[in-house]
Structure 1
Amino acid sequence: MATHRVAHEPAFVLHRYDWSESSLILETFTRQYGRIALVAKGAKRPSSNFRPVLLPLQPLHVSFGGDAEIRTLKSAEWMGGHVMPTGEALLAGYYLNELLMRLLARDDPHPALFDAYAGAVEVLAGDHAGARGAAQSSALRSFELILLREIGFLPALDAQTSTLAPLEAQHPYALVPEAGLRDADESENALSGAQWLALQVALDARLSFTSTLREIAGLAAGGNAALRHQLRVLLNYHCGVATLRTRQLMRDLQAL
């Protein structure tokens, strides 16, 4: 049987493990093949061409082959375009990687999610101190929404989930695990029906990440905080944890 080979596939490195004294196992996110594992033979040797390339949050073109669960990396080239995020933006990028590692099955292609990830990483890499909080928050919320939609955990945002009743523009609704979108209690974080409807329109747009990013950036501070809280609860629920490791690390650093 012929060995399957793939050339020049857009990819990002999500995580890496030692495989031997000289080689690495890479968890990568590719556009056409989803999350796949690759062995980079000799990547730890000082003379390896892989050493300066196989970095997280960097757009790559990879070529690989094999039919086993772990394929063999043949080549990797940096696509250019932006530098490595730093500081809080770097931690935010690792948070995106943790979400993909926890929620995305291997060999499950999601081109739209790949494009959203690439867009979010580009925002983080180009984030300037003056707008850091707003830019990072909007990029993360946009990616979280698209991730939940792509893996089937986001209900339609243009109707109440259990009754399919249409949303009232000024009425508050909450997005919660298992129940989906429903009427909000007075004490709950919530968005108005008009805001949820606008987010659904943005998600349905051809360039969903850009449209959703623009929509979230236009939310008032209270609306952005409410969306962040609801998505955090939903993601933690589906990840099966109280707090993701990267979020806890960010909290710990902010407390120093």
Structure 2
Amino acid sequence: MATRRIVDEPAYILHAYDWSESSLILDVFTCHYGRVALVAKGAKKPTSNFRPVLLPLQPLRLAWGLAGEVGQGEIHTLKAAEWVGGHVLPTGDALLSGLYLNELLLRLLAREDTHAQLFDLYAGVVRVLGSGAHGEALEPVLRAFELLLLREIGLLPALDAETATLGALAPQSRYALVAEGGLRAAAHGERAALTGAQWLVLQRALEQGYTAVLRAVAGAGAPATGELKAQLRALLQYHCGSPLLRTRQLMMDLQSL
């Protein structure tokens, strides 16, 4: 019986693991099949056609033979990989940010659970990272991705009401987004919080898509973006579990130098 194949599938490599002296296990994010595990036999050999192609944060088209039925979490065999092109590998802060996004997807997405809209969002953000975006221009892009990722996988509460009471937000009052309590009134002196009006703007933007969310985050200003960052990072880390995200630890180590 002929081996069934998936062909010409848009994908990005999230992480590569050594497997034997010459091969790699790849964790890839695909458009139509979600996060998939593939073995790239002989990929570490100097003569391998895979070697110059299997890089993170690069758009690829992959083909693989199915080890079992799709959805069973099997490790499939990579048959072909083609670089699609379009942008160079990000560098500096943009590279670290891209690896951070990859780690989030590895920790939060179940194997072979399709997220086509999230794939398109990720591809768009990677293009921005490859364009050389950095510094202040990069922050709104990351916050928008974090918000939409949490919403896509069902971990973001509605941002137009207090989670526990479902009460309407007071525009001038401050509210904090916390892991176990959702959106709640901020305690006195609590810094990581936004006003009700700011949360309402974000909720409306989430209903319109990435461009609207990016515009809303960018328009909030640096102080509010910083407070949103702290809340989203805490929420994401809670759902990712222990240990601390490796990319976040690396960023903190670099900032302390």
Tell me the residue number matched to 1:118. Answer: 123
- Counterpart of 1:91 in structure 2: which amino acid? L
Tell me: CA distance 1:165–1:3, structure 2 relative to 1, closer, same or farther (3 Å).
farther
Aligned partners of 2:6 and 2:66 also within 8 Å: no
Deviations 1:83-125 (A, max 9, x none): 1010111111111111111111101111121122112212211
- Number of the residue aligned with 2:138: 136
Conservation of the 8 A alpha-carbon contact between 1:31 and 1:114? yes
Aligned length: 251
Counterpart of 1:195 (choices 173, 198, 223) is: 198
Deviation of the 1:7 alpha carbon:
1.2
Task: Work out the CA distance in 2 between the residues paired with 1:22 and 1:75.
Answer: 17
**2:25 alignment counterpart:** 25
Change (3 A) 1:18 1:173: same
**CA distance in 1: counterparts of 2:251 and 2:77, whole angstroms:** 34
Task: Write the distance in 2 (CA, Å) between the matches of 1:84 and 1:233.
Answer: 28
> Aligned AA for 1:112?
Q
C-alpha change, 1:149 and 1:2, in structure 2 (3 Å) is farther
The match for 1:154 is 156
User: Which residue matches 2:14?
Assistant: 14
Cross-structure match for 1:167 = 169
Find the residue that maps to 2:82 and give its secondary structure: strand
Classify the secondary structure of the residue corresponding to 2:98.
helix
Distance 1:23 1:212, change over 3 A: same
| Residue ranges of structure 2 left out of the alignment (5+ in a row) | 69-73
Q: TM-score, normalised by structure 1?
A: 0.93
Query: What CA RMSD, in Å, does the superposition of the two structures yield over aligned residues?
Result: 1.5
Distance in 1, matches of 2:172 and 2:49, equals 57
Alignment of 1:1-256 (within 5 A): 3-68=3-68, 69-128=74-133, 132-188=134-190, 189-205=192-208, 208-241=209-242, 243-256=244-257
Q: Is the 8 A contact 1:89 1:127 kept in 2?
A: yes
Residue pair 2:67, 2:77 contacting (<8 A) in 1 also: no
Match of 1:168, SS state, is coil
Answer whether contact 1:38 1:71 (CA < 8 A) is retained.
yes
Over residues 158-196 of structure 1, what are the superposed CA-to-partner deviations in whole Å (9 max), with x where a residue is unaligned? 111111112222221110011101111232211111211
Q: Secondary structure at the match of 2:168?
A: coil
Contact 1:15 1:56 (C-alpha < 8 Å) held by counterparts: yes
Q: CA deviation at 1:242?
A: 6.2
Unaligned runs of 5+ in 1: none
Q: Identity across aligned pairs (percent)?
A: 64
Distance in 1 of aligned mates of 2:128 and 2:242: 27
Counterpart secondary structure, 2:61:
strand
Give 2:173's aligned amino acid: H
Deviations 1:117-169 (A, max 9, x none): 112212211134xxx22222111111111111111111111111111112222
Are the structure 2 counterparts of residues 21 and 174 from structure 1 closer, same or farther at C-alpha, using a change threshold of 3 Å? same
| Stretches of 4+ aligned residues off by more than 3 angstroms | 1-4
Query: Residues 36-63 of structure 1, C-alpha deviation per residue, up to 9 Å, x if partnerless?
Result: 1011112112121111110001011111
Question: CA offset at residue 245 of structure 1?
Answer: 1.3
Which secondary structure state, in structure 2, belongs to the residue aligned with residue 29 of structure 1?
Answer: strand
CA deviation after TM superposition for structure 1 residue 2, in Å: 6.2
* Alpha carbons 2:164, 2:181 under 8 Å: kept: yes
SS in 2 for 1:226: helix
